[in-house]
Every structure is written in C-alpha cells, then in structure tokens.
Amino acid sequence: MNTITSDELRTRMIKHEPVFLVMALSSLAYNQAHIPGSVGVEALSDLIKEHNFDREVVVYDTNSACPASYRAYYQLEHIGFAHVRCLKGGIEEWVAAGFPIEGSLVGNSQ
C-alpha cells in the first residue's frame, strides 16, 4: 500500500500540486470535519466515471485503525487507478500536526 504523511500532503497542497483528496467515511462524518479541499466518498463514483486512471488520489479516514480508507484504496486500485495513496494516521494525524480542518464541528475555521 502506498502511503503519504500529513506533512507530505500539506506541502503538496501548499504548492497547489494536483491531488484528488477523498474522505472515505460517511457524508455525516465529512460534514462534521474534513481536510480542506477534500471531497466525500460519494465523489468516488464521479471520479470512476471520468476514467482518469492516471490521476493521483489520496484517501483518508479517521486513523490507522479505521478500515474505510483501506477499502477505498483497494477498490480504486482494483478498478485500475495507478496512483492511489492512503494518508498515514488519517485525519487524527492531520489534526495532531496542527493542520486545518473544516466542518460543522469546527465552525469551518481553525
């Protein structure tokens, strides 16, 4: 499994490097707190319809113990996406690093 750290992802985001960032949890969880610029898991169906299999996709969930991002990772890899990565430590590691999140639980600012 290819992974990316929070520091690596944040650096790429600051540099505006293209990455399709997907929270692999329910829409309720996404609405409560997510990484800015990410989309909910429902957007995976749109990505699959695009057939842009060379696009880099990063999936994430709550933490390393949560299986949601692993399922999304392997689903995308099985379909044929060539550049899929999983965020190590999920949103918990992202927050612990002091990086911003959005959502109803954080008032869309941090």
Residue 108 scores a pLDDT above 80: no
Listed by start position, the domains of the chain span 3-96
Structure tokens at 42: 């429902």
41-74 residue pLDDT tens:
888 788 788 777 888 999 999 998 889 999 999 9
Q: Which is nearest to 23 in space by CA: 80, 95, 78, 73?
A: 73
Residue 79 scores a pLDDT above 50: yes
Superfamily classification of domain 3-96 = Rhodanese-like domain (3.40.250.10)
107 pLDDT tier (thresholds 50, 70, 90) = low
Residue linked to tokens 């990772």: 73
3-state secondary structure of 34: strand
Structure tokens at 20: 């399709």
Instruction: Report the C-alpha gap between 47 and 57 in whole angstroms.
Output: 10
Q: Which is nearest to 55 in space by CA: 17, 90, 24?
A: 17
Largest distance between two CA atoms of the chain: 37
